[in-house]
Amino acid sequence: MGAKTVPNSSKELWALVRRQHGAVSVPQLLAAGLSEKAVTHRVAVGRLHRWHSGVYSVGRRELPRVGELMAAVLAGGEGAVLSHESAAELWGIASRRSRIEITVPRARNPRVRGVTVHRRPIPEANLTLHRAVPITTPACTLVDVAHRLPADKTERAVNEADRLDLIDPEALRTELEDMPGRRGVPALRTLLDRRTFTLTRSELERRFTLIARAAGLPLPQTGVWLNGYEVDFYWPELGLVVETDGLRYHRTAAQQTRALVRDQAHFDSGLTPLRFSHAQVEYEPEIVQRSLMRMVRRLSTE
């Protein structure tokens, strides 16, 4: 995997240029049958425009953003791939950064002006193509950026990867096992563990009851059946139902739909449903408490 494709005819060359979003390397031009003199002539007459040493845009000076990313990879040479936050940008899971980043095999040390070059071995399993650009896989990309992004942006990137069907959190957790020692692995593990955190029923009841009491609520009823569903916590005097979700991060579309149907059934019967995750109960009790307090004030005035 890497920037090494070479065509063997003019027709294949132009197909390659289109596939590479307008960028091409000198080795690819020579492999298509152009001489060095012909390449120099095309540069002189404005048919080729230099982007990096040995890399040109074809026909016009400008390249689309994906073409800029491809040009950087081509400039990295054999085995180069888009990586880190530039890979996250191309995958659509992080915002654009001005400086492009690529990774090359440790044995090579190319100098590419305006491009950050990382040197390390990357297993073939961590490499792929996206929009014809050699790039680190979504899992490898998330590991590369996790140690440098704030926790909220890392979580947003994981959420986007899941939303775009690039990789789901369970598969990401599995792939982390094959990347021991990588700097971003601990941060991702912490994030995944926090968002998939599940309390036992008894511990959940104990902790949530303490939060509810701090919010000024009396003891709730637990495990009662309402509208055909067993609910987690119920205050009949307020008409308030609280449901708590374990494995929030992993819920499938079908599970989300069932949760919505439950909430709608309670709402249609005149109850007020609230929903928190086990992770919120464990790690963000102050947020849960404030939400309960606001809800109690609203329901008490109705």
Residues of the chain with CATH 3.40.960.10: 201-301
Alpha helices by DSSP H, the chain:
10-19, 26-31, 36-44, 65-76, 84-91, 138-146, 151-163, 169-176, 185-195, 201-214, 253-268, 278-283, 285-301
pLDDT score at 117: 96
CATH of domain 201-301: 3.40.960.10
pLDDT score at 252: 60
Cβ burial, residue 123 (10 Å; 0-12/13-18/19+): exposed
- Closest of 275, 274, 281, 276 to residue 204, by C-alpha: 281
Identify the residue whose tokens are 């940008």: 89
pLDDT score at 201: 80
pLDDT score at 7: 53
pLDDT score at 9: 65
Cβ-Cβ contacts under 8 Å for 137 (sequence gap 6 or more): 125, 126, 127, 128, 167
pLDDT score at 55: 95
Tell me the average confidence (pLDDT) per consecutive run of 10 residues in the chain, 302 residues long: 58 88 93 89 93 92 95 95 96 90 94 94 94 97 93 87 87 89 90 71 88 93 92 94 72 74 94 91 92 93 76
